[in-house]
Amino acid sequence: MDTKTLVIGAGGQIGKELVQELCKIYGNDKIVASDIRKDEGVKCDFETLDVLDTKRLVEIIKKHNVKEVYHLAALLSATAEQFPEKGWKLNMEGLLSVLELMKDKVIDKMFWPSSIAVFGPNTPKQNTPQYTIMEPSTVYGISKQAGERWCEYYNKRYGVDVRSIRYPGLIGWQSAPGGGTTDYAVHIFHEARKQKKYECFLSEDTTLPMMYMSDALRATIGLMQVPSDKVKIRSSYNLAGMSFSPKDIAAEIKKHIPEFTITYKPDYRQPIADSWPQSIDDSFAREHWGWKHQYDLAAMTKDMLDHIK
Ligand code: AKB
């Protein structure tokens, strides 16, 4: 029986596009998508799964002879602040049960996403290094940092092949983000097309690291494809694309939609954003496995607006 790749959290912002991309590269019959709710659009096999249900997870893995897993199910920064216990439980227990299955050699390889949220208010904000002060101040950030420690521990102690990236804010036109602090950078495009105006929940000068989805997918699949000895960091790799503020992105949108206007009404997400870095040093990813981003703010804005009609 052929081996398959399972995407957990396939209905989320990254999951939706990742499943499509993996199907394109490896074929629909090699991919299994799973989420708590059925996504009608998927072309490959789909299994309903709550990642906290380990019995069901094992059943799916056995049924499809799954050997690789992209484990994306998580509560993002803003939602996890509303539901701290749920955020911690989902983000930690889900990861630990897949790591255990790797230890028991049920699965050979896993991708698990970390985030710039592992950094905190005492981290240097510019060109944030791979190794630096990390004192996350959100539940999401704490869970991602703890997750990184577990990934490295399982790799060093049991030799499991787990690979990870600290995603910046991700921007794509195909899927909606859910519950993140960087979500404004996706909503702004839809509102610019629909209303020609947008009220931003972050202040105008809040600069954050961001990345276009096609770059994020290339990085994710690229990291999973390189030989294991190239993956020298088993906690999670810093990864950079671009950095911008709401004011910068609004100015770029205005080049395409001159009538576009933006107003600012910072809310509970502002302190989360203020605790994160503004730009990231990703030289280890570039050196170890050849990472190189393609999209800057101008190229991304054009592509987003070309696709959102
Ligand atoms: C969020 O805003 O929570 C995420 C992230 C940066 O991890 N997009």
pLDDT tens digits along 26-37: 999 999 999 998
Whether 134 shows a pLDDT value over 90: the answer reads yes
Asked whether residue 60 is assigned to any structural domain, the reply reads yes
Q: What is the pLDDT of residue 247?
A: 98
pLDDT tens digits along 135-152: 999 999 999 999 999 999
Which residue, judged by its Cα, is nearest atom 8 of ligand 1?
169
Range of the domain at 302: 171-209+242-282+294-307
For the Cβ of 181 lying below 6 angstroms from any atom of ligand 1, the answer is yes
Asked whether residue 287 is assigned to any structural domain, the reply reads no
**Residue 276 maps to which CATH number?**
3.90.25
Q: How many domains does the chain have?
A: 2
Asked whether residue 163 is assigned to any structural domain, the reply reads yes
Q: What is the pLDDT of residue 7?
A: 98
pLDDT tens digits along 160-205: 999 999 999 999 999 888 899 999 999 999 999 999 999 999 999 9
For the Cβ of 116 lying below 6 angstroms from any atom of ligand 1, the answer is yes
Q: How confident is the model at residue 123 (pLDDT cuts 50, 70, 90)?
A: very high
| Paired tokens of 94 | 């889900």
Whether 39 shows a pLDDT value over 90: the answer reads no
Q: What is the pLDDT of residue 38?
A: 82
46 and 107 inside one domain:
yes
How far apart are alpha carbons 204 and 153 in whole angstroms?
40
93 and 184 inside one domain:
no
Q: How confident is the model at residue 221 (pLDDT cuts 50, 70, 90)?
A: very high
Which residue, judged by its Cα, is nearest atom 6 of ligand 1?
169
| Paired tokens of 141 | 């950030």
Whether 309 shows a pLDDT value over 90: the answer reads no
42 and 151 inside one domain:
yes
Q: Share the mean pLDDT of the chain.
A: 97
8 and 77 inside one domain:
yes
Q: What is the pLDDT of residue 179?
A: 95
Q: What is the pLDDT of residue 9?
A: 96
121 and 229 inside one domain:
yes
How far apart are alpha carbons 18 and 223 in whole angstroms?
13
Q: Is 140 tagged catalytic?
A: yes
CA 179 to ligand 1 centroid distance, Å: 8
pLDDT tens digits along 75-97: 999 999 999 999 999 999 999 99
89 and 227 inside one domain:
yes
**Residue 98 maps to which CATH number?**
3.40.50.720
For the Cβ of 115 lying below 6 angstroms from any atom of ligand 1, the answer is yes
200 and 262 inside one domain:
yes
| Paired tokens of 51 | 């990642």
Asked whether residue 202 is assigned to any structural domain, the reply reads yes
63 and 152 inside one domain:
yes
CA 141 to ligand 1 centroid distance, Å: 9
46 and 145 inside one domain:
yes
How many Cβ atoms sit within 10 Å of the Cβ of residue 75? 23
- What does the DSSP assignment read for the chain? ---EEEEETTTSHHHHHHHHHHHHHH-GGGEEEEESS--TT--SEEEE--TT-HHHHHHHHHHHTEEEEEE-----HHHHHHSHHHHHHHHHHHHHHHHHHHHTTS-SEEEEEEEGGG--TTS-SSSB-SSS-----SHHHHHHHHHHHHHHHHHHHH--EEEEEEE-EEE-SSS---S-SSTHHHHHHHHHHHTSEEEESS-TT--EEEEEHHHHHHHHHHHHHS-GGG---SS-EE---EEE-HHHHHHHHHTT-TT-EEEE---THHHHHHTS-SSB--HHHHHHH-------HHHHHHHHHHH--
Asked whether residue 28 is assigned to any structural domain, the reply reads yes
Return the ligand 1 atom nearest residue 182 CA.
Answer: 2
For the Cβ of 169 lying below 6 angstroms from any atom of ligand 1, the answer is yes
Q: What is the pLDDT of residue 178?
A: 86
pLDDT tens digits along 230-284: 999 999 999 999 999 999 999 999 999 999 999 999 999 999 999 999 999 999 9
Q: What is the pLDDT of residue 121?
A: 98
Q: What is the pLDDT of residue 40?
A: 77
124 and 40 inside one domain:
yes
Asked whether residue 116 is assigned to any structural domain, the reply reads yes
Which residue, judged by its Cα, is nearest atom 1 of ligand 1?
180
CA 105 to ligand 1 centroid distance, Å: 31
- Percent of all residues in the chain with a pLDDT value above 70, rounded to a whole number: 100
162 and 271 inside one domain:
no
For the Cβ of 138 lying below 6 angstroms from any atom of ligand 1, the answer is no
38 and 120 inside one domain:
yes
